[in-house]
Structure 1
Amino acid sequence: MKAIGYTATGPIDRPDALIDFETDTPVATGHDLLVEVQAISVNPVDTKIRQHRAPEGDTPAILGWDAVGKVVATGDDVTGFAAGDQVWYAGALTRPGTNSEFHLVDARIAGHAPKSISAPAAAALPLTTLTAYEMLFDRLNVSRAVPGAANAALIIGGAGGVGSIAIQLLRALTDMTVIATASRPETQDWVRDLGAHHVIDHSQPLQDQIAALNIGAPGFVFSTNQSHSYATQIAELIAPQGRFGLIDDPQDFDILPFKQKSISLHWEFMYTRSLFGTEDIARQSDILNEVAGLVDAGKIRSTTTEVLGTINAANLIRAHSLIETGTAKGKLVLEGF
């Protein structure tokens, strides 16, 4: 089968940063689905792993986690799926990725894909959806109000892949006021169009902008990037006993400013359930199935902003380069081989 991988860590501006190659088609056993990949999207995790995690042995390491495709075979322990089913998922860090014609995924972290949108449109959603949903409902527990706080959530980095779906999930599943940050006119328009009630500029002091909304201090803050830069401001603007969640990787983070307000800090790592084989691993399948229903009901829309062409090394290099600028809006998708 065709696949795209890398043989050495390093920058993306090398012609061989990613390469096309041929490898054996895997075989489904146990809980596995063998999926014929139709579309993928590219995430910051792809670029981080390419830069820092060396391949094992002489075989190129295959990146990619988001995928939409057709089940062609199932392992003996699979329930709820059959050959021919259209599925979507975000995969696991411990297995080869989705930048290949065929891919193995544990059925317990896969869901039935939405029926109302195309494979490229759906491919933009699994990883960011799981990240945003788990943070909002499993970590921050936004369904449980913070006493005395505004019924509001602040999303820092609202125009990115995770922020774009977090806004929509809050609008579809809660009655909360959604505040999103964006600094450029085009990204501000994007988050408004996704459903943010208020948009503020994260390049300017946050507390004064929140105060100017006259809705009170938000009980929840979800930071998707540059969390270390906003820590002091978040501690000032969040309500006492509020909940703060982050998903990025700050090299240093001062938690002390949060102590006086008894702010709880929550990390979200979408791969935790698959990495540790947690008892509730099938929660990811449930989330994906729920969100597929929301998509088909017209309550969640795809965050795809550009389809870069077929799945090959040249197009993936282009996608990685765009992701590494840190200014991408929504999601970049590739389709077919």
Structure 2
Amino acid sequence: MKAIVYTQHGLPITDPNALQDIDLPMPLAGPNDLLVEVRAVAVNPVDTKLRRGVAVTEPRVLGWDASGIVRAVGSEVTLFAPGDDVFYAGSLTRPGSYSQFQVVDERIVGRKPANLDFAQAAALPLTSITAWELLFDRLKVAEGGGEGKSLLIIGAGGGVGSILTQLARRLTRLTVIGSASRDVTRQWVRELGAHHTIDHTRPMGPQLAALGLEAVDIVISLTHTDQHYPDIVEMLAPQGQFALIDDPATLDAMPLKRKSISLHWELMFTRSMFQTPDMIRQHELLERVARMVEQGELKTTLSEHFGAVDAANMRRAHALVESGKAHGKIVLAYA
């Protein structure tokens, strides 16, 4: 089967060897696995981080967002059958989705929304899982709850922010403020349902004050947390909640003590990496997301289609993600 791999970490994405087209053997499904014919993939910051920073001794297939068709199932599979259309984010401990076929545990797979094509569906899994787990599993916000409270999403125009904004607006009563650095991304965030938008390249406290907010109850930081951390501590209300997903070099929790601020970290791969007893929760929430999309309550966050799945197009996609100028999700598809 055809696949895209990296064989040497740290190469600039302008180097043709940063991502390469190769042929690999067809993978075999284990007892709980689906063998999926991949039809579309989306690109995430985790893809570029691993390519740049994780050394390999053999070709590694990246990619943690896909949609496709089940072609075979393992002996213990009960949730899906050959021919089913699915979408999923996969596991960091297994080969990724930049390949024509992939094996994935059924417990982290959902039924593809029937009203989306494969490219539109591929934009959703990783960001939907991350956003859902942040809001409902880590921060324990109740569906329909949050009346009188506020949520600031830093980096709301990105992939996770685009879903998180929608979920917070549709499933909670929180006042949602989204930060974005450009006019086009602030407009995008407003269209997704944010009550207010601010610019995180300028001091955020005065912008919140201009909206009549002295402090916010919850801050979710999705990008450049190390740069925004002093502002975050200042903006949060006493007994507020702070959550993040990125990788600051260090994070000193001591400044949170004075206000009794709780700290929450989200990694959507935790359940699959550790095979947690509640791993099937990701199947369940993807099924919920699919229903919400079909009912018009959520929309795909696909923003750009980069054409066929090949190394040249994938290098272009990585370059845009690394530029920090992408909004929504970049998707590539097999013909």
What TM-score, normalized to structure 1? Answer: 0.96
Give the conservation status (yes or no) of the 8 Å contact 2:144–2:171. no
**1:243 counterpart = 2:266:** no
Taking only the aligned residue pairs, the percentage that are identical comes to 52
**1:120 counterpart = 2:82:** no
**1:134 counterpart = 2:133:** yes
**CA deviation digits over 1:78-119, x for unaligned, max 9?**
111000111100000010110110000000000111001111
What aligned pairs does 1:1-337 form with structure 2 within 5 A after superposition?
1-10=1-10, 11-57=12-58, 60-143=59-142, 150-336=148-334
Give the conservation status (yes or no) of the 8 Å contact 1:150–1:218. no
Instruction: Note the C-alpha offset of 1:55.
Output: 2.2
**CA deviation digits over 1:170-226, x for unaligned, max 9?**
112112111000121111111001110000111111112112222453211100011
Give the conservation status (yes or no) of the 8 Å contact 1:231–1:254. no
How far apart, in 2, do the equivalents of 1:26 and 1:232 lie? Answer: 47
How far apart, in 2, do the equivalents of 1:258 and 1:77 lie? Answer: 46
Q: Which moved more, 1:13-22 or 1:252-261?
A: 252-261
Q: Which amino acid aligns with 2:101?
A: F
Instruction: Note the C-alpha offset of 1:150.
Output: 4.3
Give the conservation status (yes or no) of the 8 Å contact 2:181–2:200. yes
Per the alignment, in what secondary structure is the counterpart of residue 4 of structure 2? strand
Give the conservation status (yes or no) of the 8 Å contact 1:244–1:265. yes
Per the alignment, in what secondary structure is the counterpart of residue 178 of structure 1? strand
Q: Which amino acid aligns with 2:178?
A: A
Give the conservation status (yes or no) of the 8 Å contact 2:68–2:87. yes
How far apart, in 1, do the equivalents of 2:29 and 2:184 lie? Answer: 44
Q: Which amino acid aligns with 1:5?
A: V
Per the alignment, in what secondary structure is the counterpart of residue 116 of structure 2? coil
Residue 264 to residue 146, structure 1, CA distance change in 2 (3 Å) = farther
Give the conservation status (yes or no) of the 8 Å contact 1:146–1:219. no
**CA deviation digits over 1:108-167, x for unaligned, max 9?**
0001110011110111110011111101110011229999x9411100001011111100
Per the alignment, in what secondary structure is the counterpart of residue 219 of structure 2? strand
How far apart, in 1, do the equivalents of 2:145 and 2:286 lie? Answer: 27
Q: Which amino acid aligns with 1:282?
A: I
Q: Which moved more, 1:216-225 or 1:26-35?
A: 216-225
Give the conservation status (yes or no) of the 8 Å contact 1:64–1:99. yes
How far apart, in 1, do the equivalents of 2:78 and 2:61 lie? Answer: 27
Give the conservation status (yes or no) of the 8 Å contact 2:150–2:174. yes
Alignment length, in residue pairs? 334
Per the alignment, in what secondary structure is the counterpart of residue 241 of structure 1? strand
Instruction: Note the C-alpha offset of 1:316.
Output: 0.4
How far apart, in 2, do the equivalents of 1:285 and 1:301 lie? Answer: 19
Instruction: Note the C-alpha offset of 1:254.
Output: 2.7
How far apart, in 2, do the equivalents of 1:200 and 1:143 lie? Answer: 25
Give the conservation status (yes or no) of the 8 Å contact 1:179–1:198. yes
Give the conservation status (yes or no) of the 8 Å contact 2:143–2:171. no
Q: Which amino acid aligns with 1:200?
A: I
Give the conservation status (yes or no) of the 8 Å contact 2:70–2:86. yes
Q: CA RMSD in A?
A: 1.6
Give the conservation status (yes or no) of the 8 Å contact 1:41–1:123. yes
Q: Which moved more, 1:165-174 or 1:205-214?
A: 205-214
